[in-house]
Amino acid sequence: MGDCCVIFDFDGVIANTEELHLAAYNQVLLAASKAVGRVIQITPERYFSRYIVFGNYEGFRLMLQDQGVNPPRALLDKLCELKDKIMDGRVGESPVPMPGVGELIKHLASRNVLCGICSGARRQEITTLLKAFTLDRYFPVIVSIEDVTRSKPDPQGYCLAFDRLNAQQNGNLDKATSLVIEDTEGGAAAAHGAELRVLGVATTSSLDAVRKWADFPFEHLLDVPLQQLDQWLGLPVAH
């Protein structure tokens, strides 16, 4: 193994699940309209610009507060529980990984680059889809929403993911040659807060928007030149 690692976000980078999350949020909000006191539905534009980076609890809290509702913890817990059940039933609707991610992951494995995941999704969602994609063996470290007390854009998750990967390398990993792959500005802020560079993909926003927050912006992972990626990671030239 080298002295670098690559940490992947999950939704929108490895799995195409963001539309599923939005649909689940709206289904729960509609079902809970009586308890909430009003009908709230989140538009795709609002979701991708405001709420996408957050885990379920923070997501629901902000959605309700933005509508003038100050939800008690018990209500938020119930909303999260219902969304979890919906996602468990729908997770199979994302049967293939994002374009190019499988090839990129396998290339990193061929160069002995240690990989991990840091995501605001639940661990069960992540592991279920990784197994379906036959990519689970490439990720010895997964930091999910259950592992943190502060979700993105706080850097806690990325700091934890790097530290766990670093422990596997006896403390030899270097943040300066490591990378995070993200598709949101909030996720990039979390990575930069952890002193990690960001390769950004325009899954949920325009490439022009990605250029504002990513060190290495791309439309798709298919566009990432693997030889250039190796250079960013400080890897020797492959022969």
Task: Report the pLDDT value the prediction gives residue 90, as an integer from 0 to 100.
Answer: 84
Task: Report the pLDDT value the prediction gives residue 237, as an integer from 0 to 100.
Answer: 80
Residue partners of 73: CB distance under 8 A and separation at least 6: none
Task: Report the pLDDT value the prediction gives residue 94, as an integer from 0 to 100.
Answer: 59
216, burial (CB in 10 Å: exposed 0-12, middle 13-18, buried 19+): middle
The pTM for the full model equals: 0.89
Residue type present at position 91: V
Task: Report the pLDDT value the prediction gives residue 31, as an integer from 0 to 100.
Answer: 97
Tens of pLDDT, residues 28-86: 999 999 999 999 999 999 999 999 999 999 999 999 999 999 999 999 999 999 999 99
* Residues 199 and 7 sit within 8 Å (Cβ to Cβ): no
Query: CA-CA distance, 161 to 184, in Å (whole number)?
Result: 18
Tens of pLDDT, residues 86-145: 998 887 775 679 999 999 999 999 999 999 999 999 999 999 999 999 999 999 999 999
Tens of pLDDT, residues 140-195: 999 999 999 999 999 999 999 999 999 999 999 999 999 999 999 999 999 999 99
* Residues 162 and 197 sit within 8 Å (Cβ to Cβ): no
Query: Domains in the chain, start-ordered, CATH in brackets?
Result: 5-16+96-232 (3.40.50.1000), 18-93 (1.10.150)
H or E stretch covering 74: helix 73-90
